[in-house]
């Protein structure tokens, strides 16, 4: 498709001033073509880049841009539908104008819709009418006309207004809040760049092939690397965007920012300079990631911050704060421990809990021989040794929400709990099967063990949990896991092209499927717990099986391994105690009630826009929360003060920083009913094993009095 034709198509769709006129950067068409070549040669699932795949890319792209179908209408879709079978040509011919044209049209529609939304605020709304708003429109058809789009937005804005009204705001305050919110949405669109459009389009392409294949542009690549190694070079401040200011949300202990004594939470960064006397660059109104890039840099270099104090007005005096950049370790995202005492029948047992958010590993530091490289396994091993000194009775590895990470770490972490042996099997695109094993002698922890998982425990988490289960090494507790049974490899496009600078990004490509040592796979089915917790009915919609292009479940031969134990005989007793506790545990009853309510609302998929109905719904919910609090039990999502969790109608960036931090602290410290029950299950297991040991000891040798008595 020619550039001229595409420009004409875009002009036909245009109804207002164009929001963006983004165009591909020179390196992006080459990056797209290189990605296509790598996918065709190395991906586990061979999918040709043809018209059929082009159609899937088109659908994924529209879903990524406008999944709820609030911006495009059917006329827009009709105008760009000729591109459905031409995106493959755009990639192969290194002409990304069609993809960028769609993105520019989307940006234009966003500006138009939010501009119209701001206009709606002038007339207000009638909340006595019996109207409702559809909560999810993902499965709906595109709006048939401009009038239908406007009606959708009228209801959307009306709901935004009603939420604030129910929270106690007056009409003037509501109008100001929403006008500012919608204006901010327009500004965010205006700050988008070519790399944003390219990132979204390329992920539409890669994920049309298979759900876990992704393109990472240079910025996404940098953030991925930071997540894996849990470190960066900077000042050690957590930043967020509030009212167009880059605002300090947290100072990390021991960091340059904290040690300086010149910064505090709420301070605003208005300009950034390089070097102690470097020229300052005004960052007011900048995207947060752009400001962060200026603040990060090389170790032991100076960054100069122009600070507007938290309690100062915009016109008040600023202060200049020079800081020396250092390596910052992201300890909040590393493994952590706690010890939970569990008392039943007058006996107290200590359960050591290790929370592991991801299977992180600093690949580069490890390859360089750095003795202090960051590793999930090394951190867990250190914690296990500490727990042994504390004489805990059992250990629980909490993998809830752990989406995976390094395959090497999954294998080595398993090795802390077994004494040599296979951990996982891999099969590549050619069908070749390899077995990855723990080769280290001995176990760091050979005592009772449990692994807590949920629907978000994926990939490396599933490899670890499956191996522990197959070896009979520990109890798997919680929900069935996510169901991702594929292995990805990172391909550095800059290295492949021998580019002297970072410009092409990386391709995370699925190269193999992994299998349990028993021959099964976690793909689609996940890891099924030995002891299950109640879940919502919609759990499957949040797992791998929800993707229409996920790899199928298959089975191969089992590896040669010897189980270390058999917990099957214990499970009936443990489940009996577990179920008995659930019947008496109000926290679990509340969770089941909440699951049922969430399921009901999702099935209903409608929310009333009638003020009296909404007030009644809110009052009913608050009465239920108050009743829970009256008996001294609160579910995980609740706080000690019901009103603190009342819907305030605000988005995160609209709340005061102090209130936002207080709410975050309340949620973090709220009682965790699931973790508490998992600890009780492990305590039961310890008691059961001790009883069995006593019975075995009392039985004595065959033919003894004890043996005769039993007979």
Cβ atoms of residues 561 and 422 within 8 Å = yes
Task: Give me the long-range contacts of 428-434 (CB less than 8 A, separation at least 24).
Answer: 428/44, 428/511, 428/512, 429/42, 429/43, 429/44, 429/45, 429/46, 429/511, 429/512, 433/515, 433/556
Beta bridge mates, 487: 512
So what CATH class is 231-329? mainly beta
Q: What is the pTM of this model?
A: 0.91
Backbone angles phi, psi at 170, to 5 degrees: -85, 170
Please state the separation of Cα 581 from the chain's center in Å: 31
Strand 326-329 versus strand 231-234 pairing type = antiparallel
What would the two tokens of residue 548 be? 């229409």
Write down the H helix ranges in 67-170.
74-80, 87-92, 97-120, 146-166
pLDDT (0 to 100) of residue 251: 96
Name which of 363, 108, 431, 388 is nearest 225 in CA terms.
Answer: 363
- Report how far residue 263's alpha carbon sits from residue 238's, in angstroms, rounded to the nearest whole number: 12
> Cα angle vertex 323, ends 320, 325, to 5°?
150
Distance of CA 699 to the CA centre of its chain: 52
Q: Judge contact between 291 and 269, C-beta under 8 A.
A: yes
The neighbour count for residue 39, using CB atoms within 10 Å, is 25
- Burial of residue 568 (CB within 10 Å: 0-12, 13-18, 19+) is exposed
Q: CA 444, 445, 450: angle at the middle one, nearest 5?
A: 140
**Tokens 């792209």 identify what position?**
61
Q: Does domain 333-565 have CATH number 3.90.226.10?
A: yes
Backbone angles phi and psi of 603, in degrees to 5: -70, -40
Quickly tell me which residue has 């075995």 as its tokens: 696
Instruction: Give the E-state strand segments of 516-613 in sequence order.
Output: 531-532, 606-608
Q: Which residues are catalytic?
A: 459, 470, 484
Query: pLDDT by residue (tens digit) across 321-361?
Result: 999 999 999 999 999 999 999 998 899 999 999 999 999 99
**CA-to-CA dists, residue 342 to 35, 320, 351, 576, angstroms:** 53, 52, 7, 18
Residues whose CB is less than 8 angstroms from the CB of residue 387 and which lie 6 or more positions away in sequence, other chains included: 337, 339, 352, 354, 395, 445
Token output for 372: 């202090």
Residue 694: the pLDDT is 57
Averaged over successive runs of 10 residues, the pLDDT of the chain (711 residues) comes to: 48 48 96 97 94 98 98 97 97 97 97 97 94 95 96 98 96 97 95 97 98 96 93 95 94 96 96 94 95 96 96 82 96 96 94 98 93 96 98 98 97 97 96 96 96 97 98 97 97 94 94 97 96 78 91 96 93 95 87 84 93 93 80 48 69 87 84 94 93 58 34 27
Domain ranges of the chain: 3-209, 231-329, 333-565
Determine contact, residues 229/215, Cβ cutoff 8 Å. Answer: no
Same fold, 231-329 and 333-565: no
Q: Does the CA dihedral 221-227-229-233 come out positive or negative?
A: positive
Give the pLDDT score at 170.
96
CB atoms within 10 A of CB 293: 14
Residue 251 phi, psi (nearest 5) = -110, 125
User: How far is it, in rounded angstroms, from Cα 406 to Cα 556?
Assistant: 23
**705: three-class secondary structure by DSSP:** helix
pLDDT at 71: 98
The pLDDT score that the predictor gives to residue 704 is 35
């Amino acid at each position: 498709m020619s550039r001229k034709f595409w420009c004409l198509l875009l002009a036909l769709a245009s109804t207002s001033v164009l929001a963006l006129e983004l165009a591909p950067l020179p390196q992006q068409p080459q990056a797209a073509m290189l990605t296509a070549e790598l996918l065709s040669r190395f991906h586990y699932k061979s999918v040709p880049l043809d018209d059929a795949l082009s159609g899937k890319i088109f659908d994924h792209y529209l879903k990524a841009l406008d999944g709820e179908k609030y911006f495009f209408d059917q006329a827009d879709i009709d105008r760009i539908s000729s591109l459905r079978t031409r995106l493959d040509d755009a990639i192969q011919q290194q002409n990304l104008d069609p993809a960028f044209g769609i993105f520019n049209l989307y940006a234009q529609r966003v500006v138009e819709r939010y501009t119209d939304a701001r206009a709606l605020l002038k007339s207000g709304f009638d909340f006595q009418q019996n109207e409702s708003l559809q909560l999810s429109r993902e499965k709906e058809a595109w709006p048939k006309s401009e009038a239908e789009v406007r009606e959708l937005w009228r209801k959307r804005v009306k709901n935004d207004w009603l939420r604030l009204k129910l929270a106690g705001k007056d009409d003037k305050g509501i109008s100001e809040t929403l006008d500012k919110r919608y204006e901010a949405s327009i500004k965010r669109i205006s700050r988008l760049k070519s790399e944003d459009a390219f990132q979204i389009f390329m992920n539409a392409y890669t994920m049309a092939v298979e759900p876990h294949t992704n393109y990472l542009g240079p910025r996404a690549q940098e953030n991925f690397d930071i997540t894996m190694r849990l470190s960066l070079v900077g000042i050690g401040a957590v930043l967020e965007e509030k009212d167009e200011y880059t605002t300090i949300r947290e100072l990390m202990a021991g960091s340059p920012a904290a040690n300086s004594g010149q910064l505090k939470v709420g301070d605003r960064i208005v300009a950034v300079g390089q070097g102690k006397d470097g020229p300052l660059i005004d960052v007011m109104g900048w995207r947060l990631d752009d400001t962060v890039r200026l603040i990060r840099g090389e170790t032991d270099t100076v960054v100069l911050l122009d600070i507007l104090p938290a309690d100062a007005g915009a016109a008040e005096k600023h202060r200049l704060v020079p800081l020396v950049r250092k390596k910052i370790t992201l300890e909040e995202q590393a493994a952590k421990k706690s010890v939970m005492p569990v008392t039943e029948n007058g006996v107290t047992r200590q359960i050591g809990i290790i929370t592991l958010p991801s299977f992180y590993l600093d690949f580069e530091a490890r390859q360089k021989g750095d003795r202090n490289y960051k590793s999930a396994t090394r951190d867990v091993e250190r914690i296990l040794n500490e727990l042994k000194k504390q004489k805990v009775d059992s250990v629980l590895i909490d993998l809830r929400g752990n989406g995976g990470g390094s395959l090497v770490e999954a294998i080595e972490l398993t090795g802390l709990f077994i004494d040599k042996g296979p951990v996982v099997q891999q099969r590549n695109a050619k069908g070749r099967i390899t077995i990855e094993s723990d080769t280290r002698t001995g176990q760091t922890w050979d005592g009772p063990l449990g692994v807590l998982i949920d629907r978000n425990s994926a990939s490396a988490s599933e490899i670890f949990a499956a191996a522990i289960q197959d070896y009979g090494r520990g109890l798997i507790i919680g929900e069935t896991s996510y169901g991702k049974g594929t292995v990805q490899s990172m391909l550095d496009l800059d290295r492949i092209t021998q580019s002297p600078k970072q410009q092409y990004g990386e391709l995370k490509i699925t190269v193999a499927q992994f299998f349990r040592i028993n021959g099964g796979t976690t793909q689609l089915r996940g890891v099924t717990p030995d002891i299950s917790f109640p879940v919502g009915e919609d759990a499957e919609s949040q797992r791998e099986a929800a993707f229409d292009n996920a790899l199928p479940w298959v089975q191969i031969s089992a590896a040669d391994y010897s189980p270390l134990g058999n917990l099957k005989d214990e499970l009936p007793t443990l489940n009996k105690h577990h179920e008995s506790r659930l019947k008496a545990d109000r926290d679990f009853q509340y969770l089941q009630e909440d699951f049922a309510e969430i399921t009901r609302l999702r099935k209903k998929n409608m929310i009333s826009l009638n003020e009296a109905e909404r007030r009644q719904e809110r009052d009913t919910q608050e009465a239920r929360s108050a009743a829970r609090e009256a008996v001294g039990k609160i579910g995980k999502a609740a706080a000690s003060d019901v009103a603190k969790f009342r819907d305030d109608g605000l988005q995160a960036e609209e709340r005061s920083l102090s209130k936002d931090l207080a709410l975050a602290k309340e949620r973090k410290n709220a009682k965790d009913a699931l973790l508490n029950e998992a600890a009780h299950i492990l305590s039961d297991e310890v008691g059961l094993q001790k009883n069995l040991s006593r019975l075995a000891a009392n039985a004595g040798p065959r033919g003894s009095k004890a043996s005769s008595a039993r007979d």
